[in-house]
Amino acid sequence: MDKVSLTASMRSNLLSLQNISRQVDATQNRLSTGKKVNSAIDNPSSYYTARSLSNRASDLDALLDSMGQAVSTIKAATTSLETAADFLEQAAAVANQTMEKAQSVIAHVSTEEELLAAINSGKEGLIVLDNDITMSANQNIELKDGQSLAGARYFDSSKPQTKLNFNFAGKIDNAIVVGNNTMISDLEINVTSDTCSNYTNAVLQGTAKVNLIYNNIDINMDFDAATGQGYYAMRCGDIEMRGNVNIIYTGSKANSLDMRGISRASVTMNDAVFNSSGFYYDVGNCTLTLNGNSRYNSSSGVYNLVYSDIYFNDSSSANLTAPQSCCGVGIYMQSAQTRLNISSSKPFFEGWYSYDAKIKAVDGAVISLSSGRFTAESDTDIKISGQVAELPSPQFSKDAAANVENDETYKSVMDDFAAYIQACRDNRTPNKVSDTQYSDILSQYDSLIKDSSYKGVNLLQNQDLKVTFNESRSAWLDVKGKDASSAALELTTTEWNSKEDIEKSIEELTAAMNQIRTMSAELGSYYNIVLNRQDF
């Protein structure tokens, strides 16, 4: 083959084209890789410098991701502590509220003289009757504000109910006058009399008094008066019933004497059983609120409820048995689980003196009458005028139950009072409802602490976290975890049998809150350090 001969100008142009081709290839390579130098051959100094910088950038990216995870771990712990503090504040509110009602023992008494001396001392607190006491004829008791009475069973459930007996002869008076902030607990109060009053006196007299607690008490009244009328079992202001409360008139002249149960009171029942029988009317001019599994069982002489409002909440229920049952009442069934049973020889409500009755029932609430069982079909608001045999449709639907005796649903709610009452007595200390709430809050608190982990690290369960800040691992931060459980915070007093127990719980809560605040401050400091290094 003949040799190709190039002139100098042609050789110069060819070299220029080759140089342009190499530059195009280099540019395309840089555009596709994002790198100016892709191998040590191109430029060893630039290549190894770039590789070193790229490796450091990759290490820093990994560190940034690690720091981000650390931030999330610390944030999970700090957020949990904020909620945990709310739980402790809620527990403190329960303890302080109970503290307002709790009382220390100021005296143990066994005689009338010791009882009156303890009352006359004027000291606030609990007077415990260690034995039965029978007061002298026409002698009553007038408690000062903050003074309370309790039987021996209050502290020892194996003991029988302590009896406190009153006998009025030729005159009538209040048996026990209560003060503000008074508790009557675990007593059987027996009152006999040969006369009666004119709607002014009561076994427990506390008109307009506030913060009254009646816990596991029995009131038995036997009046055989020839004249007079209008004596009450309770004539009180603001009452909370707990456990089991019985009021019974055993005399033979309930109608002629107009014996009455509770009057002019605002009664709240918290998981309580209230039994009443024998009175001309049972509850009059009152507001009665049933919470939890409270039961109201009444078999009065003529009327159960007169000019009163009764509120049913949760799974509460009532069993009313009387010739005319109710008059001028408001019945508010605020839960679908509530039950009302009315057994009356006359149709349902009696429109006495033209006072109408009112029923408000949520969908599903059940009212049983002698004519059958009626279920609210929707949220219902009706007015009852005069006597009513059946509840109106379509507000209520009537099922196939012929009468309340065949209502198995209702019977399952109301049967076995004895077992329920005994359970209430075993839970005798009035603080028990509150300390159960307190324990439940602490249980939820501990659950929150256990759920405060992020990617397997829980700083509130003594687990530590190491956060590295540079690629050489020469700079780091050790985030020290703490044990924030209720046991570690020494919240150990959960049984409240006295005022001192509650005071101890409050002290423990105060110390625990201080520890929580310290933990939050430490975690906040760690959080800011990691964020600053992450930004850097």
Task: Pull the structure tokens for residue 64.
Answer: 């940034």
The sign one gets for the Cα dihedral 111, 115, 116, 118 is positive
Segment (H or E) for 80: helix 44-101
Q: Degrees (nearest 5) of the Cα angle 105, 218, 320?
A: 135
Nearest Cα to 176, choosing from 201, 211, 146?
201
Q: What are phi and psi of 393, to 5 degrees?
A: -100, 145
- CA dihedral sign, ordered 449, 450, 456, 458: positive
At residue 93, the pLDDT reads 85
- How many whole angstroms separate alpha carbon 465 and alpha carbon 468? 10
The residues pairing with 311 across neighbouring beta strands, listed in sequence order, are 289, 332
Distances (CA, A) of 434 to 91, 99, 183, 411, 453: 10, 10, 15, 30, 31
* pLDDT value of position 426: 55
Determine if the pTM surpasses 0.95: no
Report how far residue 373's alpha carbon sits from residue 403's, in angstroms, rounded to the nearest whole number: 7
Give Cα 473 distance to the centre of its chain.
52
Q: Quick check: 428 and 243 in contact, CB under 8 A? A: yes
Q: Any idea which residue has 């507000």 for tokens?
A: 395
Q: What is the pLDDT of residue 269?
A: 94
Those residues whose C-beta lies under 8 Å from the C-beta of residue 136, and which sit 6 or more positions away, are 112
Predicted local distance difference test score (pLDDT) of residue 348 = 76
Q: Which of 350, 355, 391, 394 is closest to 370 using CA atoms?
A: 391
Structure tokens at 337: 């689980």
Contacts of residue 416, Cβ cutoff 8 Å, sequence gap at least 6: none
- 3-class state of residue 236 by DSSP: strand
pLDDT of 105 reads: 84
For residues 263 and 306, give the distance between their C-alpha atoms in angstroms, rounded to a whole number.
Answer: 10
- DSSP annotation of 461 reads B
Q: What are phi and psi of 8, to 5 degrees?
A: -65, -40
- The Cα 146–Cα 140 span in angstroms is 18
Which tokens hold the place of 243?
A: 């456990």
Is residue 140 within 8 A of residue 132, CB to CB? The reply is no
Half-sphere exposure for 1 (CA within 13 Å, toward CB): 3
Cβ(125)–Cβ(105) below 8 Å: yes
pLDDT of the chain along its 536 residues, tens only?
Answer: 556 676 777 777 777 777 777 777 666 766 666 566 665 555 565 555 555 556 555 555 666 666 667 677 777 788 888 888 888 888 888 888 777 666 678 899 999 999 999 999 999 889 999 999 999 999 999 999 999 999 998 877 778 999 999 999 888 899 999 999 999 999 999 999 888 777 889 999 999 999 999 999 999 999 876 566 788 999 988 999 988 899 999 876 655 677 889 999 999 998 888 999 988 889 999 999 999 888 999 988 888 899 999 999 998 999 888 888 788 899 999 999 999 988 887 777 765 555 678 999 999 999 988 788 899 999 999 988 877 888 988 999 988 655 555 455 545 545 555 566 566 555 545 555 577 788 888 888 888 888 877 777 788 887 777 766 666 566 667 778 788 888 888 988 887 766 778 888 889 999 998 998 888 888 877 777 777 766 65
Q: How far is residue 414 CA from its own chain's centroid? A: 24
Distance between CA atoms of residues 276 and 270, nearest Å:
17
Q: What is the pLDDT of residue 15?
A: 77
Residues 6 or more apart whose CB falls under 8 angstroms from that of 15 comprise none
Cite the beta strand spans of 307-443 per DSSP E.
309-312, 317-321, 325-327, 330-333, 339-343, 357-361, 366-369, 372-376, 380-384, 396-398
The DSSP 8-state label assigned to residue 404 in this structure reads: G
